[in-house]
Amino acid sequence: MFAAWLLLEKGLAVDLYDSNTRPGRKFLLAGQSGLNITNEEPPALMAERYGRGRDLFLSLLRDFSPDSLRTWLGNLGVSLIKGNGGKIFPERASAGEILDLWLARLNGNRHFHFIGNARIVQWDGEGLHLNNGDRDLLIKERPVLYALGGASWPGTGSNGSWSGIFRDRGIDVIPFKPMNCAFSVAWSSRFRESRTDKPLKNISMFYGGESRRGELTLTDTGLEGGPVYWFSLPLREEIERNGFAPIHLDLTPDKTVEQLERDLKKRSPRKSLSSFLKGTLRFSPQKAALVHEAFRKAGEMPPSELARGIKKLPLTLTGTGPLERAISVSGGIALTELDDFLMLKKTPGYFAAGEMIDWESPTGGYLLQGCFSTAYRAVEGMEAFLS
């Protein structure tokens, strides 16, 4: 959709094909969690968030930076606000309202044509074969931009089914893996019974010598949320190597070990630890249950030992959540298959953008920024191809 916008601004005609009756379903899904659309980090620092795609994104973000995206949204009539960690959100508009503004501009251009219910059947030397319900379509014209998504949330249309068609053309497609996903923990039956669905607020997570503050949701099978999403790539890779990955949580990041130890010493021997944590120390039921889950005899631990345990509570992650429920994915078209303009080297005139390319990033505004920046670069390539 962004590429279509840019091409129309250049005076070119655009046919936009989508497997749904209306484009933008994945954009609407992103809006369910607040639509963190970009981040205020400078491009050089932001590029480091894109894993093995960092060198590519250092160049992409120079061409279309977070400031560029903010300017474009402003021209669309969308005001923005800054959240924690430099995250940028729409101030008032929902994802649906932004999508309506966006589509109204596209549909108002007489050179724009939308074709829904279109699915790829085949891609060969003759061109791109699609099926649009009752009729077959053949696209011989170039350039063509593919923006087919990854393989998470298949209900939006990004089901990864295109990967086989691309491999048939000799294009290297890296298998998809979950990114920004839930992780499994082997909870005890007692913990699962005591667990509530309320998030675990105001904690810090430690992994690999780094920490990330935020909130986590403890599920029947494990945990999910911002801090674990941030570390999802190295966590997944360690689990693939060793079968597990250890992490630690600080349940009281605003207190020192010494302050917490003094608080714990105030507990009367007649009062249970759980009641003391929830009543006197204002622990949520989730935090109190987690202390007992990590330390089976927590009530008998000396205050100094328990304080250190609460500040560095150990958990072991044993697997990732399902691919189809991940916020994003790793994998897709190998970067070596693309030139600097994101054109497929083996099929000149065909370009790729968005999550179907093998790059990954944590949540925090990097995912949507990555999609916009790759689309911008692909349009530059399409214009050069036409020239």
The CATH number of whichever domain residue 372 belongs to comes to 3.50.50.60
Q: Are residues 171 and 244 in the same domain?
A: no
Q: How far is residue 72's CA from residue 67's CA, in Å, rounded to a whole number?
A: 9
Q: What is the pTM of this model?
A: 0.92
Q: Are residues 136 and 7 in the same domain?
A: yes
Among the three residues 286, 320, 354, which one is the final residue of a domain in this structure?
320
Contact present, 299 and 273 (Cβ < 8 Å): yes
* 127-132/118-124 β-pairing: antiparallel
132 has pLDDT over 80? yes
What pLDDT score was predicted for residue 369?
97
Token look-up 């099978």 returns 221
Per-residue confidence band for 193, with pLDDT thresholds at 50, 70 and 90? confident
Q: Is the dihedral of CA 15, 21, 26, 30 positive or negative?
A: positive
Average pLDDT, the chain: 95
What pLDDT score was predicted for residue 150?
94
Q: Are residues 41 and 131 in the same domain?
A: yes
What pLDDT score was predicted for residue 198?
78
Query: What average pLDDT does this structure show over 272-282?
Result: 94
Q: Are residues 98 and 190 in the same domain?
A: no
Which residue, among 195, 169, 130, 196, has the nearest Cα to 345 in the 3D structure? 169
What CA dihedral angle connects 211, 212, 213 and 214, to 10 degrees? Answer: -150
Q: How far is residue 370's CA from residue 187's CA, in Å, rounded to a whole number?
A: 36
Query: What average pLDDT does this structure show over 69-84?
Result: 95
Among the three residues 264, 289, 320, which one is the final residue of a domain in this structure?
320
What pLDDT score was predicted for residue 47?
96
Token look-up 């973000």 returns 61
Q: Are residues 87 and 165 in the same domain?
A: yes
Q: Are residues 336 and 379 in the same domain?
A: yes
Q: Are residues 44 and 117 in the same domain?
A: yes
Residue 370: enclosing H or E segment and its boundaries?
A: helix 366-386
Q: Are residues 228 and 282 in the same domain?
A: yes
DSSP assignments along 303-365, one per residue: HHHHHHHHHTEEEEE-EEPPGGGSSEEEEEE-GGGB-TTSBBTTSTTEEE-GGGBS----SSS
Among the three residues 300, 320, 340, which one is the final residue of a domain in this structure?
320
Q: Are residues 126 and 222 in the same domain?
A: no
Q: Are residues 212 and 344 in the same domain?
A: no
Contacts of 142 (CB under 8 A, 6+ apart): 348, 349, 350, 385
Per the structure, the count of domains in the chain is: 2
Condensed to tens digits (0 to 9), the pLDDT of residues 156-172 reads 989 999 999 999 999 99
Q: Are residues 18 and 126 in the same domain?
A: yes
Q: Which domain, by its residues, includes 147?
A: 2-178+327-386
Per-residue confidence band for 343, with pLDDT thresholds at 50, 70 and 90? very high
Q: Are residues 311 and 207 in the same domain?
A: yes
Q: How far is residue 257's CA from residue 265's CA, in Å, rounded to a whole number?
A: 12
